[in-house]
Amino acid sequence: MDRIDPAAPPYDPAIADALGRIMPPGLEPLVLFRTLARNPRIFAKTFAGGLLDKGALSLRQREIVIDRTTARLGCEYEWGVHIALFAAKVGFGETEIAATVQGPADAACWAPDEQALLAVVDDLVDRRMISEATWATARGHFDEPQMIEVIALAGYYHTISFLCRGLDLPLEDYATRFPRA
C-alpha cells in the first residue's frame, strides 16, 4: 500500500504541462512526480530546482554525481531510474554502474576527474563537508562554477532521495536494481 497515492490523470494543467516537458515520450510520469503532484507547491518548487538541464558539468559527470549520491543514500528508486535512462547515454558499462554503488571513489574504472567527483560526493554524504584534500584534488579538475554545481547536485539529490525513501515509493518497472555485492 502506498503511503500517499500518486495523482492520476487528468492532472492540473500546470502539472500536466510540467510532466509533458520532463518525461521522455512514451513513458508514464514517474511515481515520484505523480506523488509530489499531491502537493502542487512542492511539485512546482521541486521542478523549479531541477538540475537536469545543460549545466557546467558534462552529462557523464552529472550522472556520476547523481548516481553516487542516490546510491550512497540507499535510494534505489532514483538511482535505478537514472541508470535505466542515462547509463548507456554516458557510456557506463556494468563495471561503472556497479562502482557507483560499491567500491572506493578511486576505483580504476574511473578517470581522475571522475574519481574527484566521487570523492566529493562521498565526503558530502558521509561527513556533510568536503575535506581540504578532496577539495584540492577536485579543484585540479573543476572550476568554481563546476564545483558549485557538484555541491548543488549532491544536495538536490539528497532531497530527492529523502522524498523517495520517506514516501517509500515502489520501484519503477523499468528501473535498474542495485547490483548485488
CATH number at residue 157: 1.20.1290.10
6 belongs to a structural domain? no
98 belongs to a structural domain? yes
124 belongs to a structural domain? yes
Q: Are residues 69 and 139 in the same domain?
A: yes
153: its cell numbers: 547536485
Q: Are residues 34 and 95 in the same domain?
A: no
For position 51, what pLDDT does the model report?
61
Residues 153 and 118: their CA atoms lie apart, in Å, by: 12
Q: Are residues 150 and 101 in the same domain?
A: yes
Q: Are residues 134 and 63 in the same domain?
A: yes
**Structurally, how many domains does the chain consist of?**
2
For position 47, what pLDDT does the model report?
80
Single pTM value for the model: 0.93
Residues 176 and 80 sit within 8 Å (Cβ to Cβ) = yes
Q: Are residues 27 and 80 in the same domain?
A: no
Q: Which residue has the cell 576527474?
A: 113
177: Cβ–Cβ under 8 A, 6 or more apart, which residues?
76, 80, 171
Q: Are residues 79 and 106 in the same domain?
A: yes
Residues 17 and 174: their CA atoms lie apart, in Å, by: 23
Q: Are residues 68 and 41 in the same domain?
A: no
Q: Are residues 31 and 92 in the same domain?
A: no
Q: Are residues 131 and 67 in the same domain?
A: yes
Q: Per-10-residue mean pLDDT for the chain, 181 residues long?
A: 90 92 89 95 84 83 98 98 97 98 96 98 97 98 97 96 97 95 69
For position 180, what pLDDT does the model report?
85
Domain that includes residue 76, residue range: 59-166
